Amino acid sequence: MTQLDHGKFSKMTTTFHTLLALDVFVLFFSGYSLMFNDELWWMVNLMGGAQGVSAVHRIAGGGLLALIVFWMLMMLTTDTGRGNFREILPSKGDFDAFIQDVQFLLGNADERHPNARQFAGGTADEIPLLTYIGKGVVFIFAIELTLLTISGILIWSKTGVMEIMATKTAAAAFVTFHGLLGVIMLMGVMFHIFEHGFHPALYPVEVKAFIPKSMIPEDHDDDTEGTGIELLELAPSWNMASTVVGAMTVIGIVSVLLGSLFDEGYPVPREIAIGGGPTDILLTVGINMGMFVLLLGLVLQMYGNLLRVRWQKQLEQEASEPTTAADGGHVESDD
């Protein structure tokens, strides 16, 4: 049994993913504790009040700007980057994979489509670099991050927007736009955490995002039919964990969606609405659950990196052992 599906990403990509995730988590925690300050007042206090949160958000925003400029340059200036662009273009297979996933859920299909398979197992050679969800994530996050960065830069100094638009209200509108735009990404990241943390064969974290392909020995054992998932043993905690986190993900997504509809910032209301909406206990609990899912994602991604370090140490150790010599003699299991 192995936790390691075939690694598919280069070291640059896995490192970038970790840095981007860390940065985006900080942006979420600082940004949405401002937008949902009725529900996340404790988070605002934790980061040193409104001024502290703004400072944290700007520092992380600067980091995001550097990261996406770097990524764009890498995609444009290197052969690997330009070559990989083809891999993320949507194809008919991706649409088929979506339809087949619905069929799989309904019991009308026996397997997930290769373009949907997160656990490749014995079929690793057939499956593309990214699943259809993976491609969607790349596209949606790329568009979102670009728009968020542009609107973020515009409101970096709000007086500038005020002067251009000749009204103070415009600054409020751009802040609102920036926050509402991020809600899609917020919901998407919650799904992303559930999708890659709670696949039964890969639970609790899909290590291919953290261990680069250069560190995964290739061992093609093609005599098994299908993915071979039936050979794996389900983790005892999976049932409970996936149910609890699945429920929290759903509640979190619904709550931030409702919260975003109520927490309006434009048009600026004539009267001060204390709380800015129905600040009831359910919404507070729900939004905090969503934040917990994000925190869980942060923890899981640190765990993924911990596994990478352990894996590297194990490889180094195995290589330095004299018993694993040229004859292939192993003294211990290599799973």
Partner 1 sequence: MSYREHLPETKGYPRTAIAINAVVALAVTALILWWAADFAVFYEELFRIQPVAEGANAGVGSDWTSGNQIAWLDFLIAITHAADVIMGVFILFMVFLHWGAFRRLAGRMRQPGDSDSSAVAADGGRVADDAADDDSAATDGGESR
User: For partner 1, which residue of 46, 55, 99, 102 counts as binding (CB under 8 A)?
Assistant: 102
Nearer to partner 1, 45 or 200 (CB): 200
Angle at the Cα of 110 from the Cα atoms of 109 and 112, rounded to 5 degrees: 80
CA distances from 61 to 50, 88, 155, 156, 189 (A): 16, 26, 12, 10, 17
Nearer to partner 1, 201 or 207 (CB): 201
- Rounded distance between C-alpha atoms, residue 261 and residue 314, angstroms: 50
| Residue 65 touching partner 1 (CB under 8 A) | yes
Q: Which of residues 244-303 bind partner 1 (CB under 8 A)?
A: 246-247, 249-250, 253-254, 257, 260-261, 266-268
Q: Which of residues 13-52 bind partner 1 (CB under 8 A)?
A: none
- Rounded distance between C-alpha atoms, residue 212 and residue 308, angstroms: 9
Number of residues located near partner 1, criterion CB under 8 A: 96
Q: Which of residues 171-230 bind partner 1 (CB under 8 A)?
A: 172-173, 176-177, 180-181, 183-184, 187-188, 190-191, 194-195, 198-201, 212-218, 229-230
- Omega before residue 236 within 30° of 0, cis: no
Stretch that binds partner 1, among 4-12, 20-28, 34-42, 87-95 (CB under 8 A): 4-12
Stretch that binds partner 1, among 26-34, 38-46, 63-71, 298-306 (CB under 8 A): 63-71
Nearer to partner 1, 112 or 208 (CB): 112
| Beta carbon of residue 125, minimum distance to partner 1 (angstroms, whole number) | 14
> Which of these, 8, 24, 10, 13, lies nearest to 61 by C-alpha position?
24
Pair 98, 116: CB distance under 8 Å: yes
| Beta carbon of residue 45, minimum distance to partner 1 (angstroms, whole number) | 27
Nearer to partner 1, 88 or 215 (CB): 215
- Omega before residue 269 within 30° of 0, cis: no
| Beta carbon of residue 136, minimum distance to partner 1 (angstroms, whole number) | 9
Tokens of 182: 């991020």
Tokens of 335: 């799973």
Q: Which residues, including other chains, have CB under 8 Å from residue 91's CB and lie 6 or more apart? A: 115
Pair 115, 93: CB distance under 8 Å: yes
Contact pattern for partner 1 over residues 114 through 143, marking x by CB under 8 A? -----x-------------x------x---
User: For partner 1, which residue of 92, 110, 225, 332 counts as binding (CB under 8 A)?
Assistant: 110
Contact pattern for partner 1 over residues 302 through 321, marking x by CB under 8 A? ----------x--xx-xxx-
Pair 64, 24: CB distance under 8 Å: yes
